[in-house]
Copies of this chain bind each other. A is one copy, B any other.
Amino acid sequence: MTSTAVVAVDVGGTKIRAGSVIDDTVGHIREAPTPATQGRVAVLDSIAEVVRSVLRDTEAEVPGSATLRWRLGVGSAGVIDPETGTVVSATDSLAGWAGTLLTAELTDRLGFEARAVNDVHAHALGESFAGAARGTRSSLLVAAGTGIGGGFITEGRLLTGRASAAGHIGHIPVAAAQGLPCPCGGEGHVEAIASGPAILAAYRRAGGGAGSRSSVASARNDVSSTRQLAEAARSGDAIAQQAFAQAGRALGSALGGLANVLSPEAIVIGGGLAGAGDHWRQPLREAFESELIPAVRGLELRPAELGQDAALLGAASLWSTDTGSTDTGEACTNEETE
């Protein structure tokens, strides 16, 4: 990592989160809601405003920081072309985001240079250089949440792929998802059984939450989020436990196959589901290990360490020389996954 002073920003569909990154330390966090329905100009203006707040706070608190040469590192939802700093495509959760000249527009507003990558790839870079995979030259980050995304680092560089499209690990076919529709438009992919919404859907398909006809019990069992479902599983709801186990097994199996192909030094599990507990984690690990060929055995799934700061540290690392990113802005793409 470098001692360059960077304001790092994580742009998601619901929240803009930014902070200073000086000497690999995140500080002066500021957040604002993403004006996701108001179009690209509103989003760009909000990002710039949050960044200015971070700069004001930093300059007030860190002696000499007003004279630093600041740069901007962005991890954003959508498929981001790191070479041009543009948004290649994005889901409807960010209206008008596709086609945005992200780094150019932010440089116009802020007056300093900017680089950008997809948010999941920023997450992968952060865990690779500063988190659970630090010290490795190759690692796979898995972000399991609303979607299933990922980022693969090899020789210290992020795999970008043709059309900036690498890393879509949610779209590996798995037996357990056969016939289930996937958000990508296809079917049978691991995201169709293992994402947060897919786990909730499986729970409902299996009759979960409707065990008792009394209104009191119904209200208590009206599970509407993955977090609530995880609580239900911990409280002994067998259908919830089964939905998590099925999701964990499917994801573990897909990751085991991927490990046989990539043989990374580390696989890091992050995203909202990473806290779903043993009803998910144990089947995940068992299915993963059962797929490994002898030459790959011993590879373990590691929990992510940096939480929300991973994407900020990863976005900041775009300005670090040892990421290999200074010339081409290595980066990638993916849906949102938190």
Q: Measured between alpha carbons, how far is A155 from B157 in the docked complex, in Å?
A: 10
| Complex partner residue of A171 from B161, B185, B186, B293, CB under 8 angstroms | B293
Establish whether residues A168 and B260, one from each chain, have CB atoms under 8 Å apart when the complex forms: yes
A323 to chain B, nearest CB (A): 13
A321-338 interface mask toward B, CB cutoff 8 Å, 1 = contact, 0 = none? 000000000000100000
Contact assessment for B293 and A168 in the assembled complex, using a CB-CB cutoff below 8 Å = yes
Give Cα distance in the complex from A174 to B169, angstroms: 15
Q: Which of B155, B178, B258, B333 contacts A175 (CB 8 A)?
A: B178
A2 within 8 A of B: no
B295 near A168: Cβ-Cβ < 8 Å: yes
Pick from B162, B185, B291: contact of A186, CB below 8 A: B291
Which A residues from 139 to 185 make CB contacts under 8 A with B?
150, 152, 154-155, 157, 159-169, 171-175, 178, 184-185
* B-chain residues with CB within 8 Å of residue A138 when the two chains form the complex: 161-162
Residues of chain B with a CB closer than 8 A to A169's CB: 260-261
Q: A41 interface residue, CB < 8 Å from B?
A: no
Nearest Cβ on chain B to A123's Cβ, whole angstroms = 16
Q: How many copies does the complex hold?
A: 2
Q: Does A226 contact B (CB under 8 A)?
A: no
Bound Cα distance A228, B211 (Å): 58
Residues of B within 8 A of A89 (CB): 294-295
Chain B residue with Cβ nearest A253: B173
Please report the C-alpha to C-alpha distance between residue A89 and residue B295 in the assembled complex, in whole angstroms.
9
| Interface set, chain A 299-333, CB cutoff 8 A to B | 299, 333
* A138, B164: Cα distance in complex, Å: 12
A296: nearest residue on chain B (CB-CB)?
B165
Quick one: which of B186, B260, B263 contacts A290, CB cutoff 8 A?
Answer: B186
Knowing A89-B295, A186-B293, A296-B168, say if A263 contacts B173 (CB, 8 Å): no
Interface residue? A40 (CB, 8 A) = no
Whether B167 and A261, one on each chain, are in contact in the complex, defined by CB atoms closer than 8 angstroms, is: yes
Tell me, in angstroms, the Cα distance from A172 to B174 when the chains sit together.
Answer: 10
Q: Please list the residues of chain A having a beta carbon within 8 angstroms of any beta carbon in chain B.
A: 79, 88-89, 138, 150, 152, 154-155, 157, 159-169, 171-175, 178, 184-186, 188-189, 253-254, 256-258, 260-265, 290-296, 299, 333
Known: A89-B294, A154-B159. 10 other contacts (CB 8 A): A138-B161, A162-B264, A162-B296, A169-B261, A172-B260, A175-B175, A185-B293, A186-B292, A254-B257, A295-B333
